[in-house]
Amino acid sequence: MKGFRYAVVFGALALLALFLLYPLSLVLDASLRVNGTGAFTLANYAQIFASRYYVSSVGNSLLAAAFATVGATLVGTPLAFCLARIDIPGKTVLLTLATLPLVLPSFVAAYALVLLFGHAGVVTTALRAIGIPMGPIYGLPGITFVFLLTLYPYVLLPSIAGFRAIDASIEDAARNLGGSRLHAFRTVLLPVAMPAVLAGALLVFIEALENFGVPVVLAEDRPFLAVDIFKLFAGEADNNPAAAGALSVLLIAGTAIALVVQRHYLSRRRFATNARAAPPLLPLSRGWRALATIFSWGIVALSLLPFMAVLFISFLHFRGPVLTWQLALSNYSTLLEGSFRPLYNSLALATITAVVATLLGAPIGYIVARHRGALSAGLDVIGMVPFAVSGTVLAIGLIIAFNSGVLVLTGGWLILVIAYVVRKLPFCIRASSAIVHQIEPSLEEASINLGVPPLKTFVSLTVPLMAGGLIGGMILVWITVASELSSTIVLYTSRWSTMTVRMYHFLEGGEGAGSASAAAAILILFTAAPLLLIHRRVRRQDDPML
């Protein structure tokens, strides 16, 4: 078993070193050289800070992330309280629906916003027709709004758990000592749930900062960090790998700081754990309960509205970029008449990644959960690094690293799988270690004590016990990879194009709105259907990142 442990630890470290740390170090290296390959220089950074465009690129990204974080907290916390403590009709369904935005592709929501409120959007044109001018939704307002709508579950899920984990007696004690319900909420419930709320909020910040799909759809020509990195690296006009590297380093620094703050904060505050008696539902008057119901259902419905709109619009006929009100399948036929290839690619890549990431993540998660020691602590930290690295930056690093030399991977499918696996590894490790934490160590000891050797015990007892949870995690990986855009857009080749890439090109071209909506609808179907099938399992696991 010791041999197994070392094999897993060193295997995992080697993989992460080769496919994560090495590519990232090359990105850092490129940012410190003239034109990315020449002599050492700090000029790339100086150039960025001297350029008004790039300073505002950094600024815009930080602002959007900050606004989204505040907004998601302000929406997610009260919603969590309602779902945890108020008898809202259809609560189970509501909870399942509320988790959907986490896995639905956020750039599809952004695209829906364009379809509805863009220059030629359905609502915009309708309002213009009756003489009401519509303000621009491009740039900061639209991007922040989409982030808020798609990322609030990061706050919601841990906050619900936080409010539920407060033992009923705590609140009773506050009231027994003379506090009103409101007073008890302000002085006890909120502070105790706060770590969960803030931990979720920091995840929103990280996700918003490194998100590529939403700004690429909604930024138009406005500067945004994630988009500018992509343009500087892959753009035909203003190609500048050194500047792309420098911006990447800044982006990673931002997300890494937020991640470190989140981990540090969580490690020091663990108030709410294991309520013996879950807090009871609040006795509310009819009016208040109706208000809470409208609020809760309203938020969730609003967050799913863009996806619904896309689904609906995908069945309408487009005449060029202009939408008509005729029902038709023309969008799907245009999308698929070229080739089914991208669809197959998406499915195949997602399946391979889900299997590989789970097979890698399960033993790592097992060791992180079971063994204390410098090695497994180190593994835990390094395994989290991919979370702070945006898909675009990792992809750029992989291209620099494996474009030439001993190991050439660019142009094939393997490099896509590698990028996906590395990015999904933190999730798989967390999911697997969360499952292992629920399996009593004494079960394995009992098996060994009864004469079954350790490695055989792991295979014949532990793995079957973990299987249920692992399959749930595997499906989540499959879903998020099927709708991945940020690293795919850097790494794909025409042979290995995916649905998301197709959709991106339709959008970029401008006249493919119909096909884009069909592609978006297919993506929604691929993500929502399996999720709804396993919704009970998903809800139980909540978010293993926390």
Partner 1 sequence: MTTIRLDGVSRTFGDVRAVDRFSATIEDGKLFTLLGPSGCGKTTLLRMIAGFTELDAGSIWFGDRRIDTLPAHRRNTGMVFQNYAIFPNLTVEDNVAYGLRARKVGPVDIRARVEKALARVRLAGYGSRWPHQLSGGQLQRVAIARVLVIEPAVLLFDEPLSNLDAQLRVQMRVEIRQLQQSLGLTTIYVTHDQEEALAISDRIAILRSGKVEQIGSPEEIYRRPQTAFVAEFLGGTNMLPGVAGSFDGRTTEVAACGTTVSVQGKAAEAGQKLLLSIRPEALRLAENPNGPVLHARLVLREFLGQIQRLHAALPDGTQIRISTLGSPQVVAVGEALAIAYDPAQIAVYPAP
E strand or H helix at 360: helix 341-370
**Which is closer to partner 1, CB of 287 or CB of 451?**
451
- Considering only the stretches 64-72, 229-237, 458-466, 478-486, report the one whose residues sit in contact with partner 1 under the rule CB under 8 A: 458-466
Task: Please report whether residue 454 would count as binding partner 1 according to CB under 8 A.
Answer: yes
Query: What's the rounded Cα separation, in Å, for the pair 546 and 542?
Result: 9
Closest CA to 528 of 97, 76, 94, 157: 97
- Considering only the stretches 207-215, 255-263, 295-303, 452-460, report the one whose residues sit in contact with partner 1 under the rule CB under 8 A: 452-460
Encoded one letter per residue, x for contact with partner 1 by CB under 8 A and - for no contact, window 462-491 reads --xx--------------------------
Query: What's the rounded Cα separation, in Å, for the pair 72 and 16?
Result: 32
Query: What's the rounded Cα separation, in Å, for the pair 169 and 275?
Result: 9
**Which is closer to partner 1, CB of 454 or CB of 530?**
454
Minimum distance of partner 1 from residue 447's CB (angstroms): 7
Task: Please report whether residue 451 would count as binding partner 1 according to CB under 8 A.
Answer: yes
- Considering only the stretches 408-416, 421-429, 456-464, 535-543, report the one whose residues sit in contact with partner 1 under the rule CB under 8 A: 456-464
Task: Please report whether residue 449 would count as binding partner 1 according to CB under 8 A.
Answer: yes
Inter-CA distances, 92 with 97, 363, 500, 518, Å: 9, 33, 31, 30
Instruction: Name residue 327's beta-bridge partners.
Output: 316
Task: Please report whether residue 445 would count as binding partner 1 according to CB under 8 A.
Answer: yes
Minimum distance of partner 1 from residue 454's CB (angstroms): 7
**Which is closer to partner 1, CB of 355 or CB of 439?**
439
- Considering only the stretches 118-126, 129-137, 153-161, 441-449, report the one whose residues sit in contact with partner 1 under the rule CB under 8 A: 441-449
Minimum distance of partner 1 from residue 274's CB (angstroms): 16
Alpha helices by DSSP H, listed for 22-130, are 22-31, 43-50, 52-85, 91-103, 106-117, 122-129
CB 511 within 8 A of CB 320: yes
SS (H, E, C) 236-288: CCCCCHHHHHHHHHHHHHHHHHHHHHHHHHHHHCCCCCCCCCCCCCCCCCHHH
Encoded one letter per residue, x for contact with partner 1 by CB under 8 A and - for no contact, window 398-437 reads ----------------------------------------
CB within 8 A of 405, min separation 6: which ones?
none
Number of residues that bind partner 1 (CB under 8 A): 17
Task: Please report whether residue 373 would count as binding partner 1 according to CB under 8 A.
Answer: no
Angle ∠(156,161,163) on CA atoms, nearest 5: 90
- Considering only the stretches 55-63, 457-465, 473-481, 517-525, report the one whose residues sit in contact with partner 1 under the rule CB under 8 A: 457-465
Minimum distance of partner 1 from residue 460's CB (angstroms): 10
Which of 267, 287, 450, 494 is in the footprint of partner 1 by CB under 8 A? 450
Query: What's the rounded Cα separation, in Å, for the pair 349 and 413?
Result: 8
Residue located via tokens 């995840």:
203
CB 318 within 8 A of CB 513: yes
Residue located via tokens 């629920």:
438
Where along the sequence are the contacts to partner 1 (CB under 8 A)? Answer: 440, 442-443, 445-454, 457, 461, 464-465
